[in-house]
Amino acid sequence: QLHHQSGGYWHGYDPTVTTSVSNSFAAAAFRQGHTFVQSTIDRFNKFHEFVTSEKLRHLFMQPFLLYQPGVMDELVGGMINRQSQSYDPFMTEELAGHLFQPPEAEFGQDLASINLQRGRDQG
């Protein structure tokens, strides 16, 4: 449980403190989050009731769903009500074969391969 502290905060600025992320960390450690991604995006209403589900491949580069009233709330509801995948060495086929898949195409890019190549590039 988090408890709010009423004081003890520092409001200054220290220009000697670096806020950057090392290239090796960004290239390797940030990739671990891809294993958590589900293959579908679920939508739930404000009563935490399931509304619908969309395959991730149908949503890449397709922001038009967000233009509809109430959809953003349902998407956030889906993120609140659905667990992520477990941390393991695998990723959903939606990322490892259908990443940024155009609507008329049978396949998209492969995020697993992109991650491997990124690791080779960065060392």
4 carries a ligand binding annotation: no
Task: Give, rounded to a whole angstrom, the gap between the first and last alpha carbons of the chain.
Answer: 39
pTM to 2 decimals?
Answer: 0.74
Instruction: Enter the DSSP assignment of 31.
Output: G
How is the chain split into domains, by residue range? Answer: 34-122
Of 9, 14, 76, whose CA–CA distance to 43 is shortest? Answer: 76
Secondary structure of 86-104 in the HEC alphabet?
CCCCCCCCCCEEEECCCCC
Instruction: Give the separation between CA 95 and CA 92, rounded to whole angstroms.
Output: 6
pLDDT digits (tens, 9 = 90+) for 64-119: 999 999 999 999 999 999 999 999 999 999 999 999 999 899 999 999 999 889 88
Residue appearing with tokens 């990723």: 91
